[in-house]
A and B are shown apart, each in its own frame.
Chain A
Amino acid sequence: GDSVTQMEGPVTLSEEAFLTINCTYTATGYPSLFWYVQYPGEGLQLLLKATKADDKGSNKGFEATYRKETTSFHLEKGSVQVSDSAVYFCALSLFSGGYNKLIFGAGTRLAVHP
């Protein structure tokens, strides 16, 4: 079935370090791909998205490229800040059976230290 696999956390980095969170997916159709972020005590916020192969989503210094050949959508940031500490969810969206379903990965917790 359709699914999303993310690297397990927690990921612990020092401020200004480079971040990569791996995400791969399995889908029967042509999904759109999303990264959501959940800050402590808050709901999910859409961080970035890509709707077709080779699209690059970007926001707040984060980037992810839709790679159909490797079924991946890895999240990257060149220099993380303490304020980036949160849980990051990779998700795929498929229009199937007459509705739009959103499937999440397990989430990866990021902790950034000064």
Chain B
Amino acid sequence: DSGVTQTPKHLITATGQRVTLRCSPRSGDLSVYWYQQSLDQGLQFLIQYYNGEERAKGNILERFSAQQFPDLHSELNLSSLELGDSALYFCASSVGTDSSYNEQFFGPGTRLTVL
């Protein structure tokens, strides 16, 4: 158990809908990262937050957004869903963001299926 929690575990929805994925980082971790894992794209970095502020953006679509709240939990919002958005979405956390050897600890993931 990494200490990172994600809800829900599974999500099934229809095209055009909007969903929210939730992540709680490990106690004491200030950084939260979101990743998408799909069969054709592999593991792709989406976005990072540090202590409530957006720190970095990766391959995140404009239909997707995220935020980190004062209690440090984070939410990833996916809207106007398409079939191709079906994937595993992982959240990870780390203590900080100022070094290349800050380990990232991953949650169990949310499996999103868009029908």
Binds A, one of B12-20, B75-83, B90-98: B90-98
* Distance in angstroms between the alpha carbons of A55 and B17 in the assembled complex: 48
Report yes or no: A43 in contact with B107, Cβ–Cβ below 8 A.
yes
Size bracket, chain A contacts:
20 to 34
Asked whether A97 is an interface residue with its Cβ less than 8 Å from the other chain, the reply is yes
Least CB distance from A45 to B in Å reads 7
* Distance in angstroms between the alpha carbons of A103 and B22 in the assembled complex: 23
Which residues in A have their C-beta under 8 angstroms from that of B55?
A: 98-99
Which residues in B have their C-beta under 8 angstroms from that of A51?
A: 100-101
> A93-B102, A101-B45, A102-B45 given as contacts; is B97 within 8 A of A43 (CB)?
no
Contact of B106 among A45, A103, A105 (CB under 8 A): A45
Least CB distance from A50 to B in Å reads 9
Report yes or no: B98 in contact with A106, Cβ–Cβ below 8 A.
no
Report yes or no: B104 in contact with A107, Cβ–Cβ below 8 A.
no
* Distance in angstroms between the alpha carbons of A109 and B42 in the assembled complex: 13
Report yes or no: B56 in contact with A32, Cβ–Cβ below 8 A.
no
Contact of A31 among B56, B100, B105 (CB under 8 A): B100
* Distance in angstroms between the alpha carbons of A32 and B108 in the assembled complex: 23
- CB within 8 Å of B: which A71-102 residues: 89, 93-95, 97-102
Residue ranges of B at the interface with A (Cβ–Cβ < 8 Å) = 2, 4, 31, 33, 42-43, 45, 48, 50, 55-56, 58, 90, 92, 94, 96-109
Q: Which 7 pairs from chain A and chain B are nearest by CB? A: A99-B56, A44-B106, A32-B101, A104-B43, A43-B108, A51-B101, A95-B100
